[in-house]
Amino acid sequence: MLERKLAEKFRKLYTENSLKLKNYEDQLFSIQDPFDWIQLLSERAYVMREVYAENEELMAELWENCSDEITPEEAELLYDLAIGFFFDGHHDFVVLTEFCERILPVFKDMDEPEFLVAIYHVLGTEYAKFYRSVGDKKGMQAALDYFRGSIAQVERYSQISSPEVREFIFQDYMLLITYLTGFHTDKAESIRLYDQVWALWDNENVQQLDAENGMISGYLSIIDDAFMAKSRNINLLSEADRDKYINLLGESYKRAKERDGAKEGSPDFRTCITYKWLRGDMESEVVLEKLIKSINEIIPKPDFTKDDPINFELVMRHFKYACTAIMILENMELTSEEIQSWSEKFMPTSMSVLAKIPYRFFTGDMQPVCEQWYHAAEPVISGELNKVQFIMEMIVRRQPFTYIHSQMVAKIATLIGQKILEEDPEIFVGIRGLETVEDIQKSKAYILSYITISGLVHDIGKCYIPDTINRQNRSLNTKEYATIRKHTEIGFKEAENNAALRPYADIILGHHKHYDGLHGYPLGCDNSGSKEKAIIDLISIADSMEAGTDTLTRSYTKDKDSEKLLKELKAEAGTRYNPKIVKIIDNSKELREELKHLTGQGRYDVYYRAMQDILGNTVEEIPII
């Protein structure tokens, strides 16, 4: 049976381990001296393996001491652990969801609303954080159901003694309305929830308990914003639901008007003019001019050097004003030239703020904002190279170790690609419409550029994988492992919807599929007929070489060098790996030496430069050690 002493030991050591790794990461983002940075990275690699091993032991010990059927006493200990971790900001999907799912039946039997709201909230929050970015509908449905379980306790609101737990109810209304985006699910549910949450706020008992609660007021403000954002898909509603929606927006409009509705550049001003536009009381051109004036002339630019909350608020204001402008453009019947003309009036200012958000600026909060801004702004950005640069800035660079890995894969693949062009260019015949060896010889620079970009974007899908997976402070469970394997499909979907990435779609999808097509993933993927098969095979080899020799950022990688890895490539040539490419590597001593340096000592150089690039720093000459 689980005892308090063991539970306290688990929380203490697991928290210390999390903070230990966070401290190393914080230092990696602040140290400028290359020698010190390289030393710290090596120390972090050693500590990461220690933490990984200790956390595995802690998890095993905890569950070994729990009863097969959790007792009420054990449930309260696990509840304290889960809520403690949650409030401390340790959002470990496995720890929190396994604890809460094990104890939920116990607290259902006890029928205590305070415990139930807290458990439902933690489960909903963790499931949403984990599954939303990867587009897992089943996982998100579970998250929504947990939030629904939380708000189902509103009738017993006054029985909940903890103000923080009462706040969860309003936060769960906010998350439900936010995640039920665009009226694509139950079209009436968002409308019903919005009506309910404002009725709850007006309830006499709620006002007596929480009238002065600033957190709840903040959630209600976000609820108004999220509800207004659904106007992009208003045409999906029936006439009755549309009228109900507009009427409820009218209540939001009245609240905004009473505050700062007449103050240009304020959140309330945007709410008011958007409402008037939706009602047809203000022309699209007039609303656009007002939004553009606020973006360019009125809303201050944030100071990214300071973690002042006002700077976060300014980023969000620029984001929402720009997204509203884009929404209105999408609803106007304009030519591409007219859209471009309007975009040029505000996008330079918006991009100067939103595309330049430093990685260390409210990192966790900014991640979804950057993703949403990318998807909102990408359609109005012209030029394929600009689109690739935009996705690198907004998505890839905000996942530092995926970005570093991609830089390494690009360099490895380009080195091997150069040797292929020298020794056996026929391997590349057929790629990118180049049908003869002569075509290949004439297009060497283009092919190498294509290889480099393929390496940079091959793991674009990993940028949507939850951070808890990339953290690697313990082994992955079944759900996490299944999710990481989806990154190729997630990336492929992204590429299919982006003209700039479309040329790399087959590489993104197929680089984990084996050469013979029999193993690897995705299971349904057959890349044998792809015109880019040779590049897929090349990136697959480069990816394996990089991952297999990386002992700095991967807690599970054994100490290998490129020569040891080459033996593995040769052993699986013809099955997992393209035998012609493996042979070229094996036959070239010069190439093997270059790869040995790049995946060994040269790795520090690549890592340091990539990290400074993420931070927006100018990189000096890197020391050779």
Q: How far apart are the C-alpha atoms of 395 and 462, rounded to whole Å? A: 10
Cβ–Cβ under 8 Å, residues 576 and 65: no
**Half-sphere exposure for 371 (CA within 13 Å, toward CB):** 17
- So what's the pLDDT on residue 623? 41
| 111 Ramachandran zone, left/alpha/beta (phi>0; psi -120 to 50) | left
Residue 238 CA to chain centroid, in angstroms?
Answer: 34
Question: Does 574 reside within a domain?
Answer: yes
Higher pLDDT, 581 or 179: 581
Q: How confident is the model at residue 183 (pLDDT cuts 50, 70, 90)?
A: very low
Q: Summarize the confidence of residues 218-243 as an average pLDDT.
A: 85
Give the 3-state secondary structure of 531-590.
CCHHHHHHHHHHHHHHHHHCCCCCCCCCCCCHHHHHHHHHHCECCCECHHHHHHHHHCHH
Q: How confident is the model at residue 90 (pLDDT cuts 50, 70, 90)?
A: confident
Question: Does 504 reside within a domain?
Answer: yes
Cβ–Cβ under 8 Å, residues 474 and 95: no
pLDDT at 618 over 60: no
Q: How far apart are the C-alpha atoms of 207 and 623, rounded to whole Å? A: 63
Question: Does 331 reside within a domain?
Answer: no
Give the chain's domain count.
1
Q: Answer yes or no: pTM beyond 0.85.
A: yes
Q: Summarize the confidence of residues 269-282 as an average pLDDT.
A: 94
Cβ–Cβ under 8 Å, residues 397 and 617: no
* Residues sharing a CB contact under 8 Å with residue 541, sequence separation 6 or more, in sequence order: 413, 416, 569, 577, 578, 581, 582, 585
Question: Does 467 reside within a domain?
Answer: yes
Residue 381 CA to chain centroid, in angstroms?
Answer: 21
- So what's the pLDDT on residue 558? 61
**Half-sphere exposure for 129 (CA within 13 Å, toward CB):** 22
Q: Summarize the confidence of residues 372-390 as an average pLDDT.
A: 82
Q: How far apart are the C-alpha atoms of 474 and 14, rounded to whole Å? A: 10
Q: How far apart are the first and last CA of the chain?
A: 53
pLDDT at 251 over 90: yes
Q: How confident is the model at residue 394 (pLDDT cuts 50, 70, 90)?
A: confident
- So what's the pLDDT on residue 527? 83
Q: Residue 461 corresponds to which tokens in the numbers above? A: 């899908």
- Residue 541, domain CATH: 1.10.3210.10
Higher pLDDT, 221 or 385: 221
Per the document, the length of the chain is: 625
- Compute the mean pLDDT over every residue in the chain, rounded to the nearest whole number: 89
Q: Summarize the confidence of residues 69-81 as an average pLDDT.
A: 95
pLDDT at 316 over 50: yes
**Continuous H helices in 294-399:** 309-330, 336-343, 347-354, 363-377, 384-394
Structure confidence by residue, pLDDT tens digits, 503-552: 999 999 999 999 998 899 888 888 888 999 999 999 999 999 998 888 77
Percentage of residues of the chain with pLDDT beyond 90 = 60
Q: If we measure between CA atoms, which residue out of 549, 538, 543, 548 comes closest to residue 603?
A: 549
Q: Summarize the confidence of residues 199-227 as an average pLDDT.
A: 94
Q: Map tokens 């305070």 to a residue.
A: 114
Question: Does 230 reside within a domain?
Answer: no
Higher pLDDT, 170 or 605: 170
pLDDT at 624 over 70: no
Question: Does 102 reside within a domain?
Answer: no
- So what's the pLDDT on residue 625? 34
Query: Domain range spanning residue 506?
Result: 400-615
pLDDT at 585 over 90: yes
Burial class (CB within 10 angstroms; exposed 0-12, middle 13-18, buried 19+) of 216? buried
Question: Does 535 reside within a domain?
Answer: yes
Higher pLDDT, 616 or 338: 338
